[in-house]
Structure 1
Amino acid sequence: MRFADLTTLRVGGPVADPQEARTRADLIAFVRAHPLTVDPASPLPVPDVLFVAGGSNLLIADDGFEGPTCLIRTTGTQWEDPDDHGRVRVTVEAGEDWDTFVAATVARGLSGLEALSGIPGSVGATPVQNVGAYGAEVADCLVDAHVLDRATGEEQVLTPEDLRFGYRTSLLKRSAARVGAVRYVVLAVTFELEAARDSRAGAGAATAAVRYRQLAQALSVDLGDRVPVDAVRAAVVDLRASKGMVLDPADHDSWSAGSFFTNPILSLVDGPAGRVTADAVLPDGAPAYPVVDHATGEPDPDVVKTSAAWLIEQAGFTRGFALGAGRASLSTKHTLALTNRGHAAASDVVGLARHIRTGVEKTFGITLVPEPNLVGLTL
């Protein structure tokens, strides 16, 4: 078994010690058999164990991984009845396929996750980096995450306040970065969704407000208009497919980890100078977007977000850009995905990523941050 067979980038060496968790009890047993025995405040040089579910956010070295690898294959979905306000709670095991679950919510006439259609990976991975697309984020609908703390061996239920969501981040992701290994293992996630106003009318009766301009254009509506959730899902899947962001064995643009770099968030607080404007920190012509503080629901006045794709393109990297033999390249459809053209090694992908990050840094003085987890590799 090789990680190339377990990840959407289709690169990575041998899996030395695979162990499959098919039930929540299996997953708990694996975690408790491999506790985090170091001080969580002390960084580790390498991960001690590896957890793999959908494999959509992993770039693993050509040498593979020598430690135990837990293959999360847990399944199960528990649907509650609608409450008095027409809201439905659903608890999903970590190993369930994310898009299959989203499709099930739409089929039941529930709104909340339809804009997150077509995203590869598992349910348990979505709160780790607060998966988002087309104006929606997992944080919008998440009630809690059921986790197991490897440092204590105890199960916990973490609320959105506990998880401290941000743009593509959470307590789960930040704690792993601090420790150098996964601390909190997601067992299941509970979401709260809005039921259709008339469940007898089917999925078309449930509507959702469109919060992303490109999606509104695809649906021929205005921002804020309410549209049937099945129409939103269909439009989102079409948009993602047009960018090579829906898995397709025949399309090498989809042999990727999605957007490889996160959109940079820049500080508007400059020490002695106090607060500065976005124009003072952004390159000329760069787009500027607000960053919502999930604690308040308001834009954070201390930071501004800009576009990684814009920076990459303005630094001279075009769609399809490749190095050397071209085994890895930027997607031919957009510049945010690094893709395997069929015979790439992990070293090809990381070499391309390093080249692009260096080019952006030299041009704009902004260091791009990779979104996938790198195992046995560094930029």
Structure 2
Amino acid sequence: MDLSELTTIRVGGPARELVRAGSQQELVDAALTAWAGGDEWLVLGGGSNVVVSDDGFDGTVILAESRGIERLPGDGVRLRVQAGENWDALVAHTVANGWSGIEALSGIPGSSGAAPMQNIGAYGQDLAQSLVAIDFLDYLSGDVERVTADELELGYRTSSLKRGRQGVVLAIELQLEESDTTVAGYDQLATALGVAVGDRVPTREVRRHVLALRASKGMVLDASDTDSVSCGSFFTNPIVPENVGRSLPMDAPRWLEPDDVNVKLSAAWLIERAGIRRGFSLPGSRAAISTKHTLAITNRGGATAAEIAELSRYVRSRVMAEFGILLHPEPVAVDVEL
């Protein structure tokens, strides 16, 4: 099977071996078998944040299809969620039950097990605010361990898992509030809701407006929307020293980081000011910048991983030439240079 059938951007050649793991134990067994054989291995959940080479993957691809949401005993709302559980289905479940903490993360594609990898975040929330721990199959020891959120060193779109800690996320543990209201913590969301930042609003309304905002940017998977055939945001917002931020034009968005030394910039602003507009594509390429949002690279139909990568490198080179700032791709690259 071509991995293009298993990734949201619809690129990637065949896997030498494909194993479906429908339970946590099957996920453990599949990984241990691949490791024992010295095989190259790759775990896929929803396939939403990965670009795989057109040559495919010469190893074992493990599909994490384990499902289950379990409420644990104790104070508050503590959940254990299996790695293969669809992330947005989990968010919908929490909102329907009157639990708050991840409602602003509605519409993010992919599986729950992949969420800690890059500490998913949007509209004033990120996973770090709710994640307690993960059940983790460690590559070095072969043991199933409970790894706390602190040990994962979660940061802006990163974690120790993304920085080289090898293994398989088997389940995640979340701590949520038993409340059907939440704080509107992001300007754009608060404006859409018609409230001030910091006001409490119903979680159902937050979910509804977040889904609408994401859909307006092509960031909700939709078979009828070509702009949604993507990895979502393709580049992270760069974090640079404050003096670098001050060197940009006055209208460049920038947000002071908690360390009071660095600022976060808008990758979308940098891309647009480097002369790359919505819908842009290189001559003859079937990869294009989304017509709704410059942060997304989309497959307009039949694009190859090589075309996606070529456009990514072009965008990065234009921003570097214009501003001297290096953009970092967000997706995991498998045998392809983004």
Please say if residues 270 and 319 of structure 2, whose CA atoms lie closer than 8 Å, have aligned partners that are also in contact.
yes
- SS of 1:63 mapped into structure 2: coil
Distance in 2 (alpha carbons) for counterparts of 1:310 and 1:36: 47
State yes or no: 1:104 paired with 2:88. no
Correspondence for 1:254: 228
Question: Per-residue displacement from partner, 1:176-224 (whole Å, max 9, x unpaired)?
Answer: 5xxxxxx12100001011103xxxxxxxxx1000001110111101100
What are the within-5 Å matches in structure 2 for residues 179-194 of structure 1? 183-194=166-177
What are the within-5 Å matches in structure 2 for residues 195-214 of structure 1? 195-196=178-179, 206-214=180-188
- After TM superposition, what 4+ stretches of structure 1 lie above 6 angstroms from structure 2? none
Q: CA deviation at 1:284?
A: 4.8
1:36–1:168 Cα change, 3 Å = farther
- The match for 1:307 among 248, 266, 271 is 266
1:159–1:361 Cα change, 3 Å = same
Please say if residues 40 and 58 of structure 2, whose CA atoms lie closer than 8 Å, have aligned partners that are also in contact.
no
- The match for 1:287 among 231, 249, 253 is 253
- SS of 2:91 mapped into structure 1: helix
- The match for 2:159 among 165, 170, 177 is 170
Amino acid across the alignment from 2:220: V
- SS of 1:78 mapped into structure 2: strand
Correspondence for 1:354: 313
State yes or no: 1:30 paired with 2:30. yes
- The match for 1:56 among 48, 51, 56 is 48
Q: Share of identical aligned residues, percent? A: 49
Distance in 1 (alpha carbons) for counterparts of 2:153 and 2:9: 29
Please say if residues 94 and 125 of structure 1, whose CA atoms lie closer than 8 Å, have aligned partners that are also in contact.
yes
- The match for 1:134 among 123, 126, 135 is 123
Give the unaligned 5+ runs of structure 1. Answer: 39-46, 177-182, 197-205, 269-275, 292-298
Correspondence for 1:42: none
Distance in 1 (alpha carbons) for counterparts of 2:233 and 2:36: 30
Please say if residues 283 and 364 of structure 1, whose CA atoms lie closer than 8 Å, have aligned partners that are also in contact.
no
Q: CA deviation at 1:155?
A: 1.6
TM-score, structure 2 normalization: 0.96
Structural RMSD (CA)? 1.7
Correspondence for 1:92: 81
Please say if residues 136 and 147 of structure 2, whose CA atoms lie closer than 8 Å, have aligned partners that are also in contact.
yes
Amino acid across the alignment from 1:27: L
Amino acid across the alignment from 1:207: T
Correspondence for 1:338: 297
Q: CA deviation at 1:266?
A: 1.1
- The match for 1:125 among 96, 114, 124 is 114
Q: CA deviation at 1:82?
A: 6.5
Distance in 2 (alpha carbons) for counterparts of 1:238 and 1:303: 32
Give the unaligned 5+ runs of structure 2. Answer: none
TM-score, structure 1 normalization: 0.86
- SS of 1:66 mapped into structure 2: strand
Correspondence for 1:235: 209
**Would you say how many aligned residue pairs link Structure 1 and Structure 2?**
338
